[in-house]
Amino acid sequence: MMMLLSHRSNRSLTSITASLLLLLAACAPPPPAQAPPAAAPTAPQAPVATKPPAAPAPTTTSATPAGTKAGGVLRIGTEAGLDQLDPHTVVIGWQINAAQNVYSGLVRPGPDLLPQPDLATAWKYTDPTTLEFTLRQGAKFHNGREVVADDVKYSLDRIRDPKTASSYATNLQSIDSIESPEKYRVVIHLKNPDAALLNNLALPAIAIVPKEVVDQNGGTLKTTMVGSGPFMFKDWVPGQKLTLVKNPNYFIPGQPLLDGLEFTVLTDPTAQVNALRSGQVDFIEPVPTKDIRSLRDDPSMLVTGGPNVSFVGVTINVSKKPYDDVRVRQALSWGLDRSAVVDKVYDGFAKPLLGPPLIPPFWAGNDEKYYSYDPAKAKQLLTDAGYPNGFKATLLIDNQAYQPPLGVVLQSEWKKIGIDVQIETVDNAVSNQRWAKGDFEMWPLRWWGSDFTDPDGAFRPTFMCKGSGSGGSYNGTRYCNAAFDGLMDKGLTISNPDERKPIYHDAMKMLADDLPWIFLVSFDRYQAMKAYVKNFTAYPNGSPYSLREVWLDK
Amino acid sequence: MLRYLVAKGLSLVAVEFGITLVVFFLVRLVPGDIVDYLYGQYMSSERLDEVRGLFGLDRPAVVQYLDWLGGILHGDLGKSLLSGRPIVADIALRLPVTLELTAVAIAWSVPLAIVLGLVAARHPYGRIDGVVSAAGLLGLATPSFWLATLLVLGLSVHLKWFPAIGFVPMTDNVVESLRSITLPALCLGTTMAAAVMRMTRSAMLDVLARDYIRTARAKGLREMDVGRRHALKNALVPVLTIIGIETGKLLGGSLIIEQIFAIPGIGQYAASSVLTRDYPVLQATVLIVATFYVVINTLVDVSYVLVDPRITYG
């Protein structure tokens, strides 16, 4: 509770800063800030790359840590998402992954997904609705100007501005106003206590940007990147290639080790694997499941990653008949052999989700099993609901790679309990549109772990009656349960993660009973790289945060 | 001839105008727009409508169309809704890439196809003709994406002769540029080679059966001269036609090939703009490809005059 930060010896804090922070923590009034839960979740258990011995605690000189080699460019194959560069309006995974290497935030997620210092070295709640940050001194934007409190205020206000059209405005909805009273001090005033805020501020999209660069580019950051992170923008071919170079003045000494990063978009997963094998790229993420085994067996390759907090489910429009009857939704959940999804869609690299959507190692995760495969029970529920012979259903399927095979599996599974599923194939722009409008019956949706750091950020806009204030709801299912909303609001007023956790476990039990989504599987995420890529750490949400620590042994 | 070219030029303008109308309103008939694509999962319907306003998509379609048309007349194709970059600048980057790819595809496929077609026609239904004709059928029937996958697996992944992906501009390094373009150009040109070969063969066979060929042979001309002076020239007209059509198709084929090999050309640009509903980019790329079609067909029409003096444009 008194511990403000999760601080690790191999993390990049000087011991002086660390002691200062501990001192600060000791002096501050009991702060309702995040502390790591008692049983700190660790990185995923399954295949994680062996890391070289941890680098010694960095000193203030920018010497290369012992046992590592500086230099070289890491060439990364990405599946999509270099269409525009504004970190505040990103929507696609790899855009965020590129942005997090160029921009810094106030805080950033650690390997346990809990916030760690970034531009802010310390923070405390002076009262439950006032959060104060102390900024790092001497951190510079890539244009040479120092990052100060005004930049933080400007950036957070930019995300909150409806004109920016940032989908992350939702994550900052509790903020009332932001002040920058001193050069290195930021004060955030809240409308209501928000225990999730600190986690939300660690999202890579909540990036601190320089106002003058936005102004120079006509109010947008879509076409250039000027941050204060480990890499600097060099060149960009939209939708195709992004070249970043080392920031020699990065505020964490000894980072980054690489001279640069080069992202190439390869929309075809097979092309990604081919490019890795033939040596045009050094690193790909995610790895197509059918290639994981052969890449693992290849001694010139290294595969990292594994079980992950990302998941996929089928969203259901609960305002439509017959889905408005919870027994029908429960029948869909009982009457589904999730191992078929695991085997046929994910080649075995997934785990059935038999209950709540959030599972360990996410800190609020829960492994309860509320459902199993029980077609008899499903049929009974359908009979009780007045559909003894099943019914005709329409499943919306779009052009994202996982959707068509998933559609076929669901169709054949549900046929066994008498539900005749018609698949309607559209492309992603249409499925998104119809979901938002409520013009659908069922549509699979995938949730990347990198999209959330807090259960509130995940659940509030998705399952609450009204969604959130400023960003607008993305509750496409039309699910509304006042008791669930109550739990969500209660969860924000409690600061201790250990005390918060049961609230979200209750909320997930409620979701499992009400089933606005049929939660299907939690899928693994793997990165594959050439064996000479060293020191990559897989985060449990799949984010390649550790690229700044990566070096090449060649 | 001049009058013909002027008339053709005027009709080109009319065709272009028609294309702008069709492409502008056609892309808007497809459900879903860029706001749905980007934010549909994250915002309510009401909020999506607000954001649509930020993209200028709430204005009446006619106003948007006139706005776009006015821009085109000033050489401005607008800005990408997705990247915010001027489309003219992006096309200037990407068009040379697609042109290089297409040029290399034509450069290997057309001469090879014509030679093979002639050889096959020389001894119809013989052994050589059998092999060439079978190869032609196979070439027509093989989907380019499948061929691409096979070639990449064999020549890139296993033998490492060619890069599996990517493109090196001619101006950077000529050898590397040709290496990077070899596989894509090979895949892209296959269908064209097959089509041109089959057309050359059948046109030659058709001509060789004519009376004047028999006369030429009867008066003692060597077979070589019969072929060159009498047969080939007459057979070339349908071959030129099919070359024109197939060249147009190459631009369409580059859509797929550029995706597979991650080549930053026009096809890739167009394909991604379809999925993201980036209207201005889609409109601009369709407009450019359509213009190419029209220009190539005009060139083919003009070239008839050169090979066949009986054809004139008064």
Q: Convert the pLDDT of each residue in A291-328 to its tens digit.
A: 999 999 999 999 998 888 889 999 999 999 999 999 99
pLDDT tens, position by position, A16-39: 333 333 333 333 333 333 333 333
Higher pLDDT among residues A151 and A46, named by residue: A151
Predicted pLDDT of residue A425:
94
Check if B157 contacts A (Cβ < 8 Å): yes
- pLDDT-derived band at A473 (thresholds 50, 70, 90) equals low
- Name the residue with higher pLDDT: B223 or A157: A157
For residues A443 and A312, give the distance between their C-alpha atoms in angstroms, rounded to a whole number.
11
Tell me the C-alpha distance between A374 and B116, whole Å.
65
pLDDT on residue A94: 66
Read off the pTM: 0.80
Number of helices and strands (H, E) in chain A? 15, 21
Number of Cβ atoms within 10 Å of the Cβ of A490: 13
Residue type, B279: Y
Contacts of B218 (CB under 8 A, 6+ apart): none
Nearest to A245 by CA among A71, A365, A399: A71
Query: Given the structure tokens 């991650």, which residue do they identify?
Result: B262
Question: How far A35 CA lies from chain B's nearest CA (Å)?
Answer: 29
3-class secondary-structure state, position A32: coil
pLDDT of A349 reads 94
Please answer yes or no on whether A472 and B43 come within 8 Å at the CB atom: yes
Contact B39 A167 (CB under 8 A): yes
Q: How far is B60 from chain A (nearest CA, A)?
A: 20
| ipTM above 0.85 for this complex | no
The dihedral built from the CA positions of residue B247, B250, B252 and B258, taken in this order, carries a sign that is negative
The share of chain A scoring above pLDDT 90, in percent, equals: 54
Contact A322, A385 (CB under 8 A): yes
Q: Are A523 and A350 in contact (CB under 8 A)?
A: yes
Residue A287, helix vs strand vs coil: coil
Q: Is the pLDDT of residue A50 over 80?
A: no
Distance CA A370, CA A474 (A): 26
What is the rounded average pLDDT of the residues A109-130? 90
The per-residue pLDDT for A451 is 64
- Percentage of chain A surpassing pLDDT 70? 85
**Sheet harboring A283-284: ordered strands across?**
A231-237, A241-246, A260-265, A73-78, A283-284, A525-530, A301-306
Residue A127 phi/psi, 5° resolution?
A: -150, 170
Calculate the CA dihedral of residues B77, B81, B85, B87 and round it to 10 degrees: -20
In which band, very low, low, confident or very high, does the pLDDT at A231 lie, cut at 50, 70 and 90?
Answer: very high
Looking at every residue in chain A, the average pLDDT score rounds to 84
Using an 8 Å Cβ cutoff, are A277 and A92 in contact? no
For Cα atoms B108, B111, B112, give the angle at the middle one, nearest 5 degrees: 70
pLDDT at position A356 is: 86
Tokens encoding B280: 């201005």
The full length of chain B comes to: 314
How many other C-beta atoms lie within 10 A of the C-beta of residue A315?
23
Instruction: Report yes or no: A398 and A428 within 8 Å, Cβ to Cβ.
Output: yes
Per-residue pLDDT of chain B (314 residues; tens, 9 = 90+): 788 888 888 888 898 899 999 999 988 998 889 998 888 887 877 888 888 998 989 999 999 999 999 999 998 999 999 888 899 999 998 999 999 999 999 999 999 999 999 889 888 888 989 999 999 999 889 888 899 989 999 998 888 898 888 888 888 888 888 899 999 999 999 999 999 999 999 999 998 888 888 888 888 888 888 887 788 888 888 899 899 989 888 888 888 899 888 888 999 889 889 888 999 999 999 998 888 888 888 888 888 888 777 877 76
In angstroms, the Cα distances linking B63 to A4, B16, B60, B66 are 56, 19, 5, 5
Q: Is B118 helix (H, G, I), strand (E, B) or coil?
A: helix
Q: Counting Cβ atoms within 10 Å, is residue A163 exposed (0-12), middle (13-18) or buried (19+)?
A: exposed
**Residue partners of A73: CB distance under 8 A and separation at least 6:** A258, A259, A260, A261, A262
Q: Does position A534 have pLDDT exceeding 70, yes or no?
A: yes
Rounded to 5 degrees, φ, ψ at B282 are: -60, -45
Cβ atoms within 10 Å of A248's Cβ, excluding its own: 8
* Sequence-ordered alpha helix ranges (H) in B30-60: 34-39, 45-54
Reported as a pLDDT band with limits 50, 70 and 90, residue A190 is: very high
**Which pLDDT does position A1 carry in this prediction?**
26
The three-class DSSP label of residue B123 is coil
CA distance B77 to chain A (A): 16
pLDDT of residue A467: 52
Q: pLDDT digits over A331-357, tens only? A: 999 999 999 999 999 999 999 999 888
Q: Under an 8 A CB cutoff, do B32 and A429 touch? A: yes
Q: Is the dihedral of CA B172, B174, B176, B178 positive or negative?
A: positive
- Cα B78 to Cα B72: distance, rounded to the nearest angstrom: 8
Return the pLDDT at A92: 64
Taking CA atoms, A554 is separated from A65, A269, A401, A491, A517, in Å, by 17, 26, 35, 49, 48
Give start and end residues of each alpha helix (H) in A172-282.
Answer: 197-201, 211-216, 269-277
| Distance of alpha carbon A203 from alpha carbon B104, whole angstroms | 47
Chain A: closest CA distance from residue B272 (Å)? 8
Query: Per mean pLDDT, which range of A398-407, A433-442, B99-108, B300-309 is the poorest?
Result: B300-309
Residue A468 reports pLDDT greater than 60: no
User: Residue holding tokens 């169309």?
Assistant: B65
Number of neighbours of residue B91 by Cβ within 10 angstroms: 18
- Nearest Cα to Cα of residue A516 among A323, A369, A321: A323
The residues pairing with A422 across neighbouring beta strands, listed in sequence order, are A394
pLDDT, residue B307, reads 79
Per-residue pLDDT at A93: 64
Task: Judge whether B103 and B302 are in contact, CB under 8 Å.
Answer: no
Count of pairs with CB atoms under 8 A, one residue in A, one in B: 146
Q: Is B261 on the interface with A (CB under 8 A)?
A: yes
Closest CA to A62 of A12, A98, A135: A12
Q: Is B160 on the interface with A (CB under 8 A)?
A: yes
User: What are the CA-CA distances from residue B307 to residues B210, B233, B251 (Å)?
Assistant: 18, 6, 26
Name B125's Cβ contacts closer than 8 Å, sequence gap at least 6: none
Q: A170: which chain B residues are within 8 Å (Cβ-Cβ)? A: 42
Q: Residue B269: its chain A contacts at CB < 8 A?
A: 239
Number of CB atoms found within 10 A of residue B230's CB: 19
> Which pLDDT tens digit goes with each residue over A51-94?
333 333 433 444 566 788 889 999 999 887 678 899 998 776 66
Model pLDDT, residue A443: 96
pLDDT of residue A11: 29
Whether residue A5 is predicted with pLDDT greater than 50 in this model: the reply is: no
Task: Give the one of B84, B156, B164 whose C-beta lies nearest to A220's C-beta.
Answer: B84
Min Cα distance B36 → chain A (Å) is 5
Predicted confidence (pLDDT) at residue A542 exceeds the cutoff of 80: no
Query: In this complex, do A433 and B36 lie within 8 Å of one another by their Cβ atoms?
Result: yes
For residue B213, the model assigns a pLDDT of 87
Cβ pair A528, A537 in contact under 8 A? no
**Mean per-residue pLDDT for A91-99?**
74
